[in-house]
Chain A
Amino acid sequence: MIALKHISRLYRSDEIETTALLDVNLSINRGEFVAIMGPSGCGKSTLLNILGTIDRPTTGAYMFEGADLATMSEAGLAEHRANHLGFIFQSFNLVDDLTIRENIELGLLYRKNLSGSRKAMVEEAMDQVGIAHRARHYPHQLSGGQQQRAAIARAIVGAPSLLLADEPTGNLDSENGHQVMEILKSLNAGGVTVIMVTHSQSQADQASRVVNILDGRMVLSVNRVPA
């Protein structure tokens, strides 16, 4: 499904050049649950952003189901995100001025062809994460766990083939964190490919593969059989 070849990402500021990623090669198959691990500042999030096409690699090729995303236009990438990807963030990133239902609906807004009625799709996504009773509330009226479940609903409402999660439980207590992991696992069981950045070894243990990053290099990729 995904093939990263010789991916590097450099950041240039006025005087210094920082290497966030160096020569990363990574293939991910449909249906995998990949956990990306590593210490702070190692390049995990950069890798996830490149996978999510909201950051571009400085060099290297990014093949997604046969299409080269590294050379695709901005508009093409936007369409790609709208049709194939779902994002979950550590800080939820819900839009403050929209209700939960409207936030989730936002996940469909930029898609050209919808399989069903927008309303039904939003209802279904809300049911899937158990947030339907909060549909008319605003993000700041919800607990952190509820907000993250709403954010997941927004990510999956368009039935993406790839779900990208950047420390999805980082801002949650263990009870809520556990709930979120269960949702991600069930989505993966339903056929969605999940790539998750995490600090937690116990969460990484629930993934089918763990990729370790250190100083911008991929140091280890371990296939596991989930417990």
Chain B
Amino acid sequence: MGMLGNVFLTFYRVTTRHPLYAALDLLGLSFGVAVFVCLSLYIRFETSYERWIPNADQIYEVRIRFTMPGKPAAFTDHSPTALLDTLNEDYPDVIGARLWQEDADIRKGETFTRERETLVDPAFFRIFELPLVAGDKASLSEPGRVLLSESMARKYLPHGQGVGASIRLADGEGSVSYVVAGILADVPRNSDFDFGIVRLLTPQTFAAHPRWDELGVLPMRTWVRLPDKQAADRLDASFDDMTDRHLGKRDNGEPMHTLFTDRLIPLTAMHLNDPRSRSALYTLGLVALLGLVVAAINHVNLATALAGMRAREVAVRRTLGGTRGTLAGQFLLEAMLTSLLAWIGGLSLVEMALPLLNQAAGLSLSLAYGADGVFFLSMMGAVVLLGLLSGLYPAFVLSRFQPAQVLASSRFPTGGRLGLWVREALVMLQFTVVAVFFILTWGFFAQIDHLKTTDLGFRRDGLLVTKSTRDAAMTPALLRQVWAAMRHTPGVASVGSAETWPGEEDGFSHAVLTVPERAGIKVAGLRAAIDADFFAAYGASLLAGRFLDPALPADGTPSGGAPLHVVLNAKMAKALGFESPEQAVGRALDLYGKPLEVVGVVGDLRFGSPKEEQEGVYYYVAPAAERHVMAVRYEGVSEAEIRARLALAWHSVAPDVPLELASAQDSLEKYYAPDRVRSRLFGVAAAGSALIGCLGLYGMAAFGASRRMLELAIRKVLGATRGTVVRLLVRRFLRPVLLANLLAAPIAYWTLSQWLVQFEDRIAITPLPFIAAAGAVTAIALMTVTALSFAAGSREPGRILRNE
């Protein structure tokens, strides 16, 4: 057995001889690794979106960047139909293709169900080389062909049928039967795409949508494939010229690209295109590392404390010819072995915890060692590196012992006052992290809860919305029948309709308003096509004037150049310069030369993301064809009951259109879900760190008690009670925890306020979470130390003194 063998042997023996400390050390590190791996898996998942698509790095979307007066530049996620023609004309070498999605109804037995269908240009498959499991994409170009995903095929094709089977889709082109040309592999979870049903954009598609050619209509997503980043940068840089070449100058003489132009967005950056999502991920990455650091501190503390017990071993080894270097190497190797064991322990914990975590946070993370070798090796590298770093200080302390002094004395060296100070500082650091995590978790959840219950300007409960009224089969006449049927359903209080619904930001069109007496001031905002019952259905609050009245023609279709009556939201009234809602009522406005008159002002109805600034909106009564979304307010019945009644009423007038109802609360859920997922992960990390910190504290307290056994025994002989001994021990270990609470407060306050800035409607930071976190952290630490101190304080002094 050589030097290395001896190191392993000693490591094994020390571990088994001090099982408590070894277990605390290993368990703490394993929890740290588990927190680290779970969060890393989530970050990995979030950053891996669309990487499943072959050559994802070469694919870019062309998006429109528009700069409305007085607003920062914004991007649309859709583009005009003609954009591809312009690209093909100006850049004949660039492969480009469009993608368009619409709803398609599929009959299965007696019922219709609605699916999403994706229509693409033939060149799309030269950009997205989607993996096929059967059939081929080439035959898709024959008329009447369709590609289905595996799960779509399972859902709609008779058992055992695949390529060559037929399927009937009812969409904007009518009800048409298609032949399945191929089966696509299902899109993985880390994708925002839906390739369930894919067919080609045909002349029939364009014929069914004559408005697509109109200016400002953006139905398409346009994709290009470029050989490398340089080519992408070149293309991106030439877009402003292309815009000016084709569209000339603005009314005010400035080049058109200052109003809108095109920009490339890489496919792989699309999912995290929002900088807020990215910084949320960075934060979680930091949290993952901190979890590991908190665990590493345990190792530093326990290993340094144990160093005293191993002083004799160190001294003997040095006497026998070991150098400081070989000894430091031995302890570093031990740290590395510990971290390797913790890596295995941590992965086992992750295996056990992942199903629970996935369920709790609504995720689908998994450990795929084989498929993700490099990722696992780099995580393991990080863990081992941190293990090595955490071994540095104990190795330094241990190798510094002077053999002559250690061997001559029967007492163990403690590492000196410096060692004690360092350990206390490290414990303080741990509990600072724990307390900060506590406060932030509290703050995150408080804000999310606040958003779920805050006044959005409309009543979320008792409100169902449906987009099924947008179905291609819905003629204005049928639409009116549907509305009537809904209104007469028992339990329904009111039925409103509009262009959009809560949860869809871009439902309304953009418009620029001016106040005639101050013609220079242009205010960009949204125009919202509604019917007169819209406000009643949503339960909007009237601030001044009146709602729109269906009985008054001027509220809908004014005759002979009379102004169209509109209702403003508070934001728009303020943006237009009216000092109060009352002031706005009766005022004239101008919309591109068309006269408007304000008859009322309502509180802001927040349909968009809580992280987006509320837009100014003006509401007007529009023809039925422009109001595709129906909102139903019900009273005095349960949601399940009203859903059943509405389905029945709907079926009686529109049996060929499937009805899908969503509660307003559910359609807003997507705004809160990502923050909730991240907050839950954060909470997991907080709980994990608290646990790790307590394991470490317990170890330190146990060690302290055992080291001071003799002192405690003498104190008790001299008349100290168990109580005084417990107090003595607890005070020592509580000091760093109390200091940690003080340190954590400003850090948590700053971090929380930075996070809250992104919400327009945010909670006030109260002292409550700070006090609660300090109380919780102190209580946990107190319980840990007290339990142990009682055990130490209860020992019989006689036994200890005799043994000594």
B313 touches A89 (CB 8 A): no
Q: Which of A74, A106, A111 is in CB contact (< 8 Å) with B317? A: A106
Contact mask A83-112 → B, CB, 8 Å, 1/0?
A: 100010101011111100010011101110
B321 touches A97 (CB 8 A): no
Q: A83: which B residues are within 8 A, CB to CB? A: 321
Q: Which of B2, B325, B403 is in CB contact (< 8 Å) with A54? A: B403
In angstroms, Cα B10 to Cα A74, docked, is 24
B404 touches A93 (CB 8 A): no
Q: B10: which A residues are within 8 A, CB to CB? A: 95, 97-98
Contact A78:B318 (CB < 8 A) given known A93-B312, A98-B10: yes
A96 touches B318 (CB 8 A): no
Task: Judge if A168 is at the interface, Cβ distance under 8 Å.
Answer: no
A110 touches B1 (CB 8 A): no
Contact A78:B404 (CB < 8 A) given known A91-B410, A102-B9, A106-B317: no
In angstroms, Cα B17 to Cα A54, docked, is 29
- Other than the given A49-B404, A54-B319, A105-B6, 4 more pairs (CB < 8 A) read A95-B312, A97-B313, A109-B322, A110-B322
Q: B325: which A residues are within 8 A, CB to CB? A: 75
Interface size class, chain B: 20 to 34
Q: B374: which A residues are within 8 A, CB to CB? A: none
In angstroms, Cα B317 to Cα A82, docked, is 10
Contact A79:B321 (CB < 8 A) given known A54-B403, A93-B312: yes
Residues of A10-65 whose CB lies within 8 A of B: 45, 49, 52, 54-55
Task: Judge if B690 is at the interface, Cβ distance under 8 Å.
Answer: no
In angstroms, Cα B407 to Cα A160, docked, is 20
Q: Which 4 A-B pairs have the closest CB atoms?
A: A82-B321, A110-B321, A97-B13, A78-B323
Task: Judge if A81 is at the interface, Cβ distance under 8 Å.
Answer: yes
Q: Which of B17, B313, B323 is in CB contact (< 8 Å) with A75? A: B323
Task: Judge if B316 is at the interface, Cβ distance under 8 Å.
Answer: yes
In angstroms, Cα B408 to Cα A105, docked, is 23
Task: Judge if B326 is at the interface, Cβ distance under 8 Å.
Answer: yes
| Chain A nearest CB, measured from B311 CB (Å) | 11
Task: Judge if B320 is at the interface, Cβ distance under 8 Å.
Answer: yes
Q: Closest residue of chain A to B2, judged by CB? A: A109
B404 touches A87 (CB 8 A): no
Q: A154: which B residues are within 8 A, CB to CB? A: 320
Task: Judge if B643 is at the interface, Cβ distance under 8 Å.
Answer: no
A74 touches B323 (CB 8 A): yes
Q: B353: which A residues are within 8 A, CB to CB? A: none
B320 touches A106 (CB 8 A): yes
Contact A93:B316 (CB < 8 A) given known A78-B323, A102-B9: yes
| Chain B nearest CB, measured from A8 CB (Å) | 16
Q: Which of B14, B315, B321, B404 is in CB contact (< 8 Å) with A81? A: B321
Residues of B1-34 whose CB lies within 8 A of A: 1-3, 6, 9-10, 13-14, 17
| Chain B nearest CB, measured from A46 CB (Å) | 8
In angstroms, Cα B316 to Cα A96, docked, is 11
In angstroms, Cα B321 to Cα A54, docked, is 10
A78 touches B17 (CB 8 A): no
Q: Closest residue of chain A to B12, judged by CB? A: A97
In angstroms, Cα B6 to Cα A97, docked, is 11
Residues of B participating in the A interface, judged by any CB pair closer than 8 Å: 1-3, 6, 9-10, 13-14, 17, 312-313, 315-326, 402-404, 407-408, 410
Q: Which of A45, A52, A74 is in CB contact (< 8 Å) with B319? A: A52
| Chain A nearest CB, measured from B342 CB (Å) | 21
In angstroms, Cα B317 to Cα A106, docked, is 7
Q: Closest residue of chain B to A111, judged by CB? A: B321
In angstroms, Cα B407 to Cα A87, docked, is 11
Interface size class, chain A: 20 to 34
Q: A102: which B residues are within 8 A, CB to CB? A: 6, 9
Contact A89:B407 (CB < 8 A) given known A97-B13, A98-B13, A106-B316: yes
Contact mask A119-154 → B, CB, 8 Å, 1/0?
A: 000000000000000000000000000000000001
Among A93, A97, A106, A110, the one with the most B-chain Cβ atoms within 10 Å of its Cβ is A97
B320 touches A110 (CB 8 A): yes
In angstroms, Cα B789 to Cα A137, docked, is 35
Contact A78:B312 (CB < 8 A) given known A54-B404, A97-B13: no
In angstroms, Cα B321 to Cα A227, docked, is 35
- Between-chain CB contacts (< 8 Å), 30 pairs: A45-B408, A49-B404, A54-B407, A74-B324, A78-B318, A78-B322, A79-B321, A81-B319, A82-B320, A82-B321, A89-B407, A91-B407, A93-B312, A93-B315, A93-B316, A93-B407, A94-B316, A95-B10, A95-B312, A95-B313, A96-B312, A97-B14, A97-B313, A98-B9, A105-B1, A106-B317, A109-B6, A109-B317, A110-B3, A118-B1
In angstroms, Cα B2 to Cα A52, docked, is 25
| Chain B nearest CB, measured from A163 CB (Å) | 13
Q: B319: which A residues are within 8 A, CB to CB? A: 52, 54, 81, 87, 93
| Chain B nearest CB, measured from A136 CB (Å) | 13
Q: Closest residue of chain A to B313, judged by CB? A: A95
| Chain A nearest CB, measured from B580 CB (Å) | 78
B313 touches A110 (CB 8 A): no
Q: Closest residue of chain B to A95, judged by CB? A: B313
In angstroms, Cα B13 to Cα A98, docked, is 7
| Chain A nearest CB, measured from B309 CB (Å) | 9
In angstroms, Cα B324 to Cα A74, docked, is 8
| Chain B nearest CB, measured from A155 CB (Å) | 9
B321 touches A78 (CB 8 A): yes
B321 touches A87 (CB 8 A): no
A109 touches B323 (CB 8 A): no
Q: Which of A55, A97, A105 is in CB contact (< 8 Å) with B404? A: A55
In angstroms, Cα B312 to Cα A55, docked, is 16
Q: Closest residue of chain A to B326, judged by CB? A: A110
Q: A95: which B residues are within 8 A, CB to CB? A: 10, 312-313, 316
Q: Closest residue of chain A to B321, judged by CB? A: A82
In angstroms, Cα B1 to Cα A80, docked, is 22
In angstroms, Cα B678 to Cα A217, docked, is 74
| Chain B nearest CB, measured from A51 CB (Å) | 11
| Chain A nearest CB, measured from B508 CB (Å) | 75
| Chain A nearest CB, measured from B412 CB (Å) | 12
In angstroms, Cα B1 to Cα A109, docked, is 9
| Chain A nearest CB, measured from B324 CB (Å) | 7
Q: Closest residue of chain B to A53, judged by CB? A: B319
| Chain B nearest CB, measured from A123 CB (Å) | 14
| Chain A nearest CB, measured from B315 CB (Å) | 7
B312 touches A87 (CB 8 A): no
Q: B410: which A residues are within 8 A, CB to CB? A: 91
